[in-house]
Every structure is written in structure tokens, then in C-alpha cells.
Amino acid sequence: MDTLVKNLLENQTKEKIQKPNCQTRSGRALLAFYLQTKFKQIINHDKKSDKQVIIDYKSDFIENFTNRLIDRPNDRILIALSGESASGKSTICKQIARCIEELNLPVSILTADNYFNDISELIKIHGNFDLLRDSGYDVDSPKNFYLDLLREDILKLQKGFDVLTPEYLVNGTGVSKPESILVKSKKIIIVEGMCSVYKEIQDVFDIKIYIDLDEQERKRRFLNRAISRNQDSENAFKHWNYIKTAGSKYLQPRKKDCEIIINGECDLEYFAHMVEYINLITNNFTE
């Protein structure tokens, strides 16, 4: 374990505080001040680590987020997790899922890629997915997502209601099955996928996180993944060129709107310990 994070965990275990009365605004304000202090401590320690996770962040995001906790304490916390293809967002999300299971965290993950439009009829017309893409069809355009439905489902989750999300089949058929995946409304909702930071929907989130990675490393990862799946190399290069263009068009302009930028090459064990520490500081109270 990273020495800095180890020291944080050990010290925090000894620092239990009296739990504020979150039914009152003053109690929530006290909790917000406590969390602001601890979050700043995490960021400062991360800066000193050779395994740094947080590349950049907005200076006012901690204050804005904790003020939101004071003003709307009953709403679920909504977190967007986005990034370009092969940036590492799925890998990081899997690590979060492991942490959720191991630490029994009150977190639900909604996969926004399941809100792709059903394009099965278009694929039938063109012959297959690749020929549809080669025809100029812009798969990653905001118009190719059920963004109104995604927004509606996220807002239901925020207010405490479980939802049934669509399921987009990744078998090349372009089929979207409606109301197929149950997502429970837990204390924290993570919405993972490229479209979670599209301008049509980004305003619903409390925190937007962007996974960033050098383009050459993303290309290497993408092509290696394609080869491991026995994809034709010429087609893999075609698709890489498409997603690079789509990323520049739809995702990179949204990066500036995100509160936190995370390193797509971060050490996953170190990242897991940071999640463990965040869990500890938010639950380390005596009654």
C-alpha cells in the first residue's frame, strides 16, 4: 500500500468524531466542513504520491459539492464517470465495483452506453455494424442516445426510486431491449459512459469525473483489445480513426466542464485504497 494512504487510513481509524445531527442545517454544515477538510487532505496527499490519481480538479468543487449536501440532503449523490474510448473508464469502474462489494458501499452503477438508440434496422439495411459506420453514420453522436430517457431515469434515482434501464446488446446487432436492467437507488449513483458528460445531460450531476489518457496509449490499448478479440486489423484501424474523431468532437470539449480529471493509467490498488479512505471518513463517527 502507498505509504501516504496507509498513514491516512491509520490516522483516520483513531479519529472518530461525534456524528453531527444531519436533520438540522447547522449539523449538516458541520459535516460539510469536516468533509471539506478531509477531501482537501486526500488531494494534498495524492499530489505527493508517485501513483497520483487526480491530474486536475476545479478549485471550488469541494465547496460546491458540500454546499449541495447542506441544501439538498435527501437527494442521492450523482456522479458522472466519462472519458474517451480506451481511456480506462471501464477498468476503473470495475475497480469501483470491486470496492463496492468488498466494503459493502451504498453505491449503484448505471451504464450509460445502454442508452444507445436501437439501430438494428439500420444495420440490417447496410449489412453489418461496420458498413453502417463506413456509410458515415455517426454512432457516438448525442442524437444516437436516448438522452431524454437517461435524464428521466437519473432524476428518478436521485429522488429514491429504482429504475429499469434499457440494455444495448454489444453483439453487433444494434438491438436495444427496453426496461431490462434493474438499477437500485442507493446513496451514491455512478453513471458510467461517454454520454454522461454530453451537454444535454451533464447539468444533473453533482460531480463529473473525466478519465484522461494520452492518445497514443489509448490507440495502443484499443488496437491490442481489437486483436485479442480477433478483429480484422484494417477494420480495427478504421474504427480507431472513427472514435478518435468522435472523441475530439463530443468528449474533449466537455472535459473543461468536469470537476475532477483522473489519470487513466492510475495504479488500481492505490485507487482502491483511496476509495476505502473516502468510505472511512464518511462513516467514521461515534453516535
- What pLDDT, in 10s, does the model give residues 6-17? 555 555 555 656
Grid cell for residue 282: 464518511
Give span(s): CATH 3.40.50.300, the chain.
54-265
**Who's near 35: CB < 8 A, 6+ residues apart?**
62, 66, 69, 281, 282
Cα 240 to chain centroid, rounded: 22
**SS3 (DSSP) at 109:** strand
Would you say 149 and 166 are in contact if contact means Cβ atoms under 8 Å apart? yes
pLDDT at 135: 94
What is the rounded CA–CA span in Å between residue 264 and residue 256? 17
The enclosing H or E element of 177 equals strand 176-183
pTM: 0.90
What is the rounded CA–CA span in Å between residue 286 and residue 260? 31
pLDDT at 11: 58
What is the rounded CA–CA span in Å between residue 176 and residue 200? 21
Grid cell for residue 122: 439500420
Question: Per the CATH hierarchy, to which homologous superfamily does domain 54-265 belong?
Answer: P-loop containing nucleotide triphosphate hydrolases (3.40.50.300)
Grid cell for residue 200: 444535454
Residues of the chain with pLDDT under 50: 285-287
pLDDT at 131: 93
pLDDT at 167: 98
pLDDT at 195: 95
